[in-house]
C-alpha cells in the first residue's frame, strides 16, 4: 500500500536550514527540523535583562571579540571580519548539538557574494515561521577561513549575484556547527571580483581540521572520478563529498563518471564537509559512465514502485543512470518554479506502460506530442509517485501519439490501480459527485471515487453535482494516498 504523497513535484525544495543538506551536527547528524532563526531565541547568548550581553563587564563569548561595544548602543553593529568569526572559539569549538548565538549585532563590511541565492528555509504550510534566502560571501582575498554562509529574510526581496559587494548586519551563530550570519540587513555597496577558487584535493575534506578552515570557501578539485553514491551526495577520488542540495546544478552522478574539475563552496551538514557546485558551469565533466537501458514496464512493476512505503520528497533514487525510450503523450507542463515535466508511454498503452519525466526549466529539453524519445536520468519515488528525473532527453523520431487505453473508474480506484500509475488513459461517462475542492484545489470527484485534477494542464471545471462528463483523457498520478486523473488540457475533457 502506498502512503501519503504531496502534490508538489520537484527537486526540490530542499531547505538549507531544515533539510538534509545544510543543518546538522558535526558528530551526530540532527534532523535539522529547527530552523534556528525563526523563533527569535538566543539560546542563552543574550543577557536576560535585555541590556548589553555581559552583565559582569567581562567578555563572555557573546560580546565583540575586540572588547568594544556590542552594537546595542548605536545599532550599527560592531565590525568583524569573516576570518575572525571562522577562527573564533565559537566556530572551532562549537557544540554540534545546538544552535548557538555567538555574537549579536555585528557587521561584516565589504564582502563579495561568491554563491548566489538558494532557499535556506521554507516553512511548512500553515507555519508562521519566516522564509529565508541563503547566500555565501567571502573576503575579497578569498582562501581559507575567508568565506561564510548568510541567511536573509526572503521578505527583503534581495536578488544578489556573485560579484556583488555587500555590507551585512546581524548576528553570528553556529547552526549545529554550520557557521552562519543571520542577517537582519544587507546593503549592496558595489561590485568586486569573485576570488579565484582555492585548489584542494579530495583528502582535504576528510581531514576535519583542514576542512573546517575551508568551510564557506570557494574551492576547486581537479581530475576526479565518482567512486560511490550516498543518499544525496556523491563521493569522488580522495573521499570528498559533492552535493547538489543547495543550487541543484542538474548533474546526476553515477559511479565511473570522470570529471576534469568540480568548483563549488564548502558547506557542512550531517557530519560531513561537502562541495556545493553553484551551477552546471561549476562541473567540467570529462567522461560519463554509460546508462543502463530499462523498460518503462520494468520500472513501474518493480517493487520500488509497486510497494513504495517511503512517502518523502527527498528519497534517494531507486535506480541511477538509466535510459528509457517511449513516445511523448502529453504537452510539457509546469511542475514547479524550476521544473517542467511531460508524460511518455510505450507504443501500446496498458498497465505499467507510462511514466512522468521531470526536468529543469533551464535544461533546454523540448519535445512534442508524438515524438519518440530516449530519456536518461534517475528513477525516484517522489512521495511514492514514480518518475524519472531526466538529465537528458533526445528526440529520436517524430510521429503520432498512440491511442490511450480505455479504462473504468473501478480500474483506477481498485486493487489494480497501482498498475495504471503514469499510464495514458481515457475514461468515459463520468458522473460528477463532489465539487467541494474546485476552488481550493481545482479538482472534482466522480461517482466511484476517482479524482479529476485540472491544474497541471490548465483545465478548469464548470460543473455541478450530477453532471456527466462524456470522456476525460490524460495520465494517472499518485498523490495524497489516491490515484488521480490529470486530463491533458481542456480539449481532453468532453
- State pLDDT tens for residues 114-146: 999 999 998 877 788 899 999 999 999 999 999
Residues comprising the chain, all counted:
494
Does the pLDDT of residue 33 top 80, yes or no? no
What fold, for 405-492?
A: OB fold (Dihydrolipoamide Acetyltransferase, E2P) (2.40.50)
Tell me, what's the pLDDT at 107? 97
Tell me, what's the pLDDT at 23? 33
How sure is the predictor about 29, in pLDDT bands with cuts at 50, 70 and 90? very low
Structural contact between residues 452 and 487, judged by C-beta atoms closer than 8 angstroms: yes
Does the pLDDT of residue 382 top 60, yes or no? yes
Q: Do strands 292-293 and 319-328 pair parallel, antiparallel, or not at all (unpaired)?
A: parallel
Report the distance separating Cα 129 and Cα 38, nearest Å. Answer: 5
What fold, for 198-287?
A: OB fold (Dihydrolipoamide Acetyltransferase, E2P) (2.40.50)
Half-sphere exposure of 464 (CA within 13 A, CB side): 0
pLDDT tens digits, 454-464: 999 999 999 99
| Mean of pLDDT values over 292-310 | 93
The reported pTM is 0.61
Report the distance separating Cα 85 and Cα 53, nearest Å. Answer: 18
Report the distance separating Cα 160 and Cα 177, nearest Å. Answer: 25
pLDDT tens digits, 418-448: 999 999 999 999 999 999 999 999 999 999 9
Tell me, what's the pLDDT at 123? 87
Does the pLDDT of residue 301 top 60, yes or no? yes
Does the pLDDT of residue 91 top 70, yes or no? yes
Secondary structure element (H or E) that encloses residue 440, with its range: helix 438-441
| Mean of pLDDT values over 475-494 | 95
Which CATH code for domain 292-397?
A: 2.40.50.140
User: Which residues 6+ apart lie within 8 Å of 173 measured at CB?
Assistant: 36, 37, 99, 100, 101, 102, 180, 181, 182
How sure is the predictor about 32, in pLDDT bands with cuts at 50, 70 and 90? very low
Residues of each domain in the chain carrying CATH 2.40.50.200: 198-287
Structural contact between residues 210 and 178, judged by C-beta atoms closer than 8 angstroms: no
| Mean of pLDDT values over 350-362 | 94
**DSSP code, position 493:** B
Closest CA to 111 of 174, 178, 183, 176: 183
- Measuring CA to CA, how many Å separate 452 from each of 7, 38, 52, 329, 471? 13, 38, 60, 18, 12
Measured in whole angstroms, the distance separating CA 432 from the mean position of its chain's CA atoms is: 37
Q: Where are the alpha helices (DSSP H) in 8-165?
A: 82-86, 89-92
Report the distance separating Cα 286 and Cα 468, nearest Å. Answer: 57
Residues of each domain in the chain carrying CATH 2.40.50.140: 292-397
Report the distance separating Cα 264 and Cα 197, nearest Å. Answer: 8
CA triplet 368, 371, 376: central angle to 5 degrees? Answer: 100
Q: Where do we find the cell 520494468?
A: 298
Report the distance separating Cα 422 and Cα 457, nearest Å. Answer: 15
Largest CA distance in the chain: 80
Report the distance separating Cα 177 and Cα 94, nearest Å. Answer: 6
The 3-state DSSP class for residue 271 equals coil
Nine-digit cell at 260?
Answer: 576534469
The 3-state DSSP class for residue 420 equals helix
- Measuring CA to CA, how many Å separate 137 from each of 35, 103, 148, 186? 20, 18, 6, 12
Amino acid at each position: 500500500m502506498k502512503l501519503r504523497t504531496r502534490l508538489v513535484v520537484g527537486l526540490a525544495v530542499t531547505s538549507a536550514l531544515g533539510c538534509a543538506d545544510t543543518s546538522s551536527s558535526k558528530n551526530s547528524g540532527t534532523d535539522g527540523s529547527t530552523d534556528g532563526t525563526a523563533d527569535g531565541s538566543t539560546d542563552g547568548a543574550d543577557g536576560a535583562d535585555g541590556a548589553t550581553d555581559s552583565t559582569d563587564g567581562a567578555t563572555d563569548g557573546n560580546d565583540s571579540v575586540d572588547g568594544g561595544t556590542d552594537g546595542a548602543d548605536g545599532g550599527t553593529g560592531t565590525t568583524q571580519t569573516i576570518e575572525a568569526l571562522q577562527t573564533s572559539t565559537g566556530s572551532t569549538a562549537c557544540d554540534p548539538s545546538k544552535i548557538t548565538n555567538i555574537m549579536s549585532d555585528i557587521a561584516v563590511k565589504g564582502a563579495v557574494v561568491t554563491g548566489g541565492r538558494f532557499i535556506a528555509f521554507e516553512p511548512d504550510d500553515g507555519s508562521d515561521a519566516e522564509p529565508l534566502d541563503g547566500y555565501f560571501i567571502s573576503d575579497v582575498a578569498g582562501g581559507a577561513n575567508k568565506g561564510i554562509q548568510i541567511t536573509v529574510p526572503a521578505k527583503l526581496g534581495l536578488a544578489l549575484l556573485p560579484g556583488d559587494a555587500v555590507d551585512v548586519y546581524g548576528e553570528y551563530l553556529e547552526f549545529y556547527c554550520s557557521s552562519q550570519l543571520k542577517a537582519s540587513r544587507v546593503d549592496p555597496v558595489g561590485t568586486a571580483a569573485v576570488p579565484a577558487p582555492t585548489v584542494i584535493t579530495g583528502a582535504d575534506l576528510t581531514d576535519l581540521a583542514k576542512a573546517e578552515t575551508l568551510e564557506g570557501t570557494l574551492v576547486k578539485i581537479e581530475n576526479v572520478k565518482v567512486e560511490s553514491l550516498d543518499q544525496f551526495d556523491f563521493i569522488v577520488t580522495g573521499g570528498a563529498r559533492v552535493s547538489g542540495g543547495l543550487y541543484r546544478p542538474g548533474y546526476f552522478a553515477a559511479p565511473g563518471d570522470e570529471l576534469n574539475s568540480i568548483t563549488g563552496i564548502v558547506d557542512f551538514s550531517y557530519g560531513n564537509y561537502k562541495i556545493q557546485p553553484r551551477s552546471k558551469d561549476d562541473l567540467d565533466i570529462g567522461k560519463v559512465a554509460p546508462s543502463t537501458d530499462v523498460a518503462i514496464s520494468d520500472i513501474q512493476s518493480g517493487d520500488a514502485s509497486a510497494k513504495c512505503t517511503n512517502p518523502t520528497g527527498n528519497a534517494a533514487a531507486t535506480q541511477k543512470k538509466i535510459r528509457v525510450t517511449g513516445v511523448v503523450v502529453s504537452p510539457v507542463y509546469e511542475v514547479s518554479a524550476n521544473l517542467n515535466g511531460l508524460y511518455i508511454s510505450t507504443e501500446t498503452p496498458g498497465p505499467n506502460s507510462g511514466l512522468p519525466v521531470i526536468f529543469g526549466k533551464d535544461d533546454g529539453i523540448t519535445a512534442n506530442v508524438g515524438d519518440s524519445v530516449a530519456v536518461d536520468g534517475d528513477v525516484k519515488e517522489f512521495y511514492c509517485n514514480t518518475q524519472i528525473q531526466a538529465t537528458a532527453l533526445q528526440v529520436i523520431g517524430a510521429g503520432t501519439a498512440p491511442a490511450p487505453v480505455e479504462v473504468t473508474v473501478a480500474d483506477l480506484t481498485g486493487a489494480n490501480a497501482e498498475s495504471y500509475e503514469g499510464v495514458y488513459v481515457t475514461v468515459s461517462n463520468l458522473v460528477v459527485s463532489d465539487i467541494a475542492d474546485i476552488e481550493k484545489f481545482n479538482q472534482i470527484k466522480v461517482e466511484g471515487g476517482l479524482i479529476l485534477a485540472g491544474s497541471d494542464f490548465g483545465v478548469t471545471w464548470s460543473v455541478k453535482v450530477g453532471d456527466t462528463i462524456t470522456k476525460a483523457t490524460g495520465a494517472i498520478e499518485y498523490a495524497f494516498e489516491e490515484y488521480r486523473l490529470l486530463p491533458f488540457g481542456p480539449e481532453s475533457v468532453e
